[in-house]
């Protein structure tokens, strides 16, 4: 079995068992009362809500091998002051590491974060309302900053961004000292979100640069092609995805439904809904 070391206030070292040595399972340590964790380098993945609402947790040293921090992994760890990230985050096959949706949301005492090299996307609301966050260092590998990623970080003084990511959501730095500066630097973005009644949304973002008209862009399992980019609208085709194929027109700042389906799972979970919504900002 794998082990996490846990240090008590009296410097006594205790141990926490977990089920798989290469990952923290979904919600595995949620609401537990330990104050400090040093993660073994065998751990590759921190699952969804793995340490969520651990309200006594003050310090954590992540595995040097970690390549994925799942959605809400440390959400509402409101005493977390320090997190030691690895120098690089990549999957064993060399692909980019993942910082998931809302993974540090509400960590109100966190003061500094260095995003490792190899991370291409900072998930939506990843650091939302980290009220004490003063310094953020972003890597050159970064391609996208999702909606609300640093919104509400009102004390964010130092933003070290060596290159401007291709995709920056309009509200990613809302209510921070850098909001206006980011607004001037960012380029138009087409965001497509697939939502489900039964799971987390999937977010795809594509550059709406005129130079890319007629060129396919792929993120994950979705491929699109721009047909026209204008100040008031964007016209595009989804050329590869399980839903919502064909041509679409999305006005600026007007979220537009591309797909909707309802189906009844009688005897299990009841009425389920799926929506695909696009926005151009």
Give tens-digit pLDDT for 37-51: 888 899 999 999 999
127: left (phi over 0), alpha (psi -120 to 50) or beta: alpha
* Gap between the Cα atoms of 210 and 47, Å rounded: 38
Give tens-digit pLDDT for 158-169: 999 999 998 999
* Gap between the Cα atoms of 31 and 106, Å rounded: 14
Q: Which residues sit opposite 166 in a β-bridge?
A: none
Provide the pLDDT for residue 4: 45
Handedness of CA 200, 48, 67, 165 (dihedral sign): positive
Provide the pLDDT for residue 21: 80
Contact between residue 109 and residue 134 where contact means Cβ atoms under 8 Å apart? no
Residue 20 binned pLDDT confidence (cut-offs 50, 70, 90): low
Give tens-digit pLDDT for 167-191: 999 899 999 999 999 999 898 999 9
* Gap between the Cα atoms of 194 and 174, Å rounded: 23
Could you tell me the two tokens for 68? Answer: 């994925």
Residue 243 binned pLDDT confidence (cut-offs 50, 70, 90): confident
Provide the pLDDT for residue 269: 60
- Mean pLDDT for the stretch of residues 12-16: 44
- Above 60 in pLDDT, residue 193? yes
Contact between residue 66 and residue 39 where contact means Cβ atoms under 8 Å apart? yes
Comparing 18-22, 37-41, 116-120, 208-212, which segment has the lowest mean pLDDT?
Answer: 18-22
Residue 10 binned pLDDT confidence (cut-offs 50, 70, 90): very low
Give tens-digit pLDDT for 45-80: 999 999 999 999 999 999 999 999 999 999 999 999
Provide the pLDDT for residue 220: 86
CATH number of the 1-186 domain: 3.80.10.10
Specify the DSSP element, H or E, that contains 181.
Answer: helix 179-185
* Gap between the Cα atoms of 20 and 186, Å rounded: 41
- Above 60 in pLDDT, residue 244? yes
- Above 90 in pLDDT, residue 264? no
Residue 136 binned pLDDT confidence (cut-offs 50, 70, 90): very high
- Name the average pLDDT for the chain: 90
Query: Where do the domains of the chain lie?
Result: 1-186, 189-280
The structure tokens 């509402």 sit at 76
Q: Of 201, 245, 237, whose CA–CA distance to 217 is shortest?
A: 237
Residue 100 binned pLDDT confidence (cut-offs 50, 70, 90): very high
Neighbouring CB atoms inside 10 A of 243's CB total 14
* Gap between the Cα atoms of 276 and 260, Å rounded: 7
* Gap between the Cα atoms of 218 and 227, Å rounded: 15
Provide the pLDDT for residue 9: 36
- Above 90 in pLDDT, residue 101? yes
């Amino acid at each position: 079995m794998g082990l996490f070391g846990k240090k008590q206030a009296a410097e006594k070292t205790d141990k926490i068992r977990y089920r798989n040595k290469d990952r923290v399972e979904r919600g595995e340590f949620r609401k537990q009362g330990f104050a400090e964790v040093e993660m073994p380098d065998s751990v590759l993945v921190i699952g969804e809500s793995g340490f969520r609402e651990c309200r006594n947790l003050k310090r954590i040293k992540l595995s040097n091998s970690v390549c994925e921090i799942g959605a809400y992994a440390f959400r509402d760890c409101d005493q977390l002051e320090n997190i030691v990230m690895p120098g690089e985050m990549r999957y064993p096959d060399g692909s980019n590491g993942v910082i998931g949706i809302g993974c540090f949301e509400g960590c109100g005492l966190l003061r500094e974060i260095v995003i490792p090299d190899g991370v291409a996307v900072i998930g939506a609301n990843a650091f939302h309302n980290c009220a004490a966050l003063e310094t953020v260092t972003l890597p050159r590998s970064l391609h996208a900053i999702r909606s609300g990623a640093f919104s509400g970080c009102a004390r964010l003084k130092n933003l070290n961004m060596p290159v401007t990511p291709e995709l920056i959501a309009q509200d990613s730095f809302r209510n921070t000292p850098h909001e206006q500066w980011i607004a001037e630097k960012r380029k138009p973005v087409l965001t497509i979100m697939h939502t489900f009644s039964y799971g987390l949304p999937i977010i795809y973002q594509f550059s709406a640069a005129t130079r890319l008209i007629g060129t396919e862009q792929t993120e994950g399992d979705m491929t699109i092609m721009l047909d026209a980019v204008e100040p008031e609208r964007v016209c595009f085709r989804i050329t590869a995805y399980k839903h919502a194929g064909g041509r679409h027109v999305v006005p600026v700042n007007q979220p537009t439904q591309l797909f909707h389906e309802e189906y009844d799972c009688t005897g299990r979970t009841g009425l389920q809904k799926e929506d695909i919504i696009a926005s151009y900002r």
